Amino acid sequence: IRPDATGSISLGALQDNGSYTTATASGLGWKGTQGGDGWDVAYDGTIAGQVYCTSGFWSPAPCTRVWRSTNEGLTFPTEITPWGTTSDAGCYLSPIATDPSTGGIVYVSGSQNLWQSFNSGSTWRIISTFARAGHVSVSGTTGNCVVFAAGSQVFVSTGSYGTLAGTIG
């Protein structure tokens, strides 16, 4: 949901059906804007209209890719996938999250690594390695706190601008 006072636009990722938005749709309608299998969507924390999505079953490889939109998800013209065909290969649900307090900070889970960008996906760095894709979430009160769940492990960082460490449960 768009992070504004009215929550005026909703986005959704639908497996087998791509990504959808309510922007410019009439009534209770939704508009399909991105092909492939929709995996996940996230609004940028502070950059108006900026949205990220992950989707799968693209050819040629990499199968799972990351995209950026600057118009509320009406189009996703910019591919910002951080991995190539050798790392994080395969088709998998790839969670994505943004820092709600700082624009342009994006996290995306590959099949082997947790990636972080400070510039809306123009460049990426690996902040931790994992054996599979996992869910990532950023604290709503401090963007410096990131939680990442992979399999039966949960990792927490209170200094996310470094690497994730520690296991909970």
Side-chain half-sphere CA neighbours of 13 within 13 A: 21
- Token output for 37: 């299998």
pTM comes to 0.87
Q: Express each pLDDT in 56-84 by its tens digit.
A: 888 888 999 999 999 988 888 999 999 98
Confidence of residue 95 (pLDDT cuts 50, 70, 90): very high
Taking 80 as the threshold, does the pLDDT of residue 169 lie above it? no
Contacts of 144 (CB under 8 A, 6+ apart): 157, 158, 159, 160, 161
pLDDT digits (tens, 9 = 90+) for 142-155: 777 888 888 888 88
**Predicted local confidence at residue 168, as pLDDT:** 46
Q: Which residue has the higher pLDDT, 72 or 27?
A: 72
CB 105 within 8 Å of CB 119? no
Neighbours of 167 (CB within 10 A): 11
Using DSSP's 3-state secondary structure scheme, residue 94 falls into: coil
Task: Return the top range by mean pLDDT from 10-19, 20-29, 110-119.
Answer: 110-119
- CB neighbours of 85 closer than 8 A, spacing ≥ 6? 61, 62
Q: Residue 93 in contact with residue 40, Cβ under 8 Å?
A: yes
- 44-58 average pLDDT score: 90
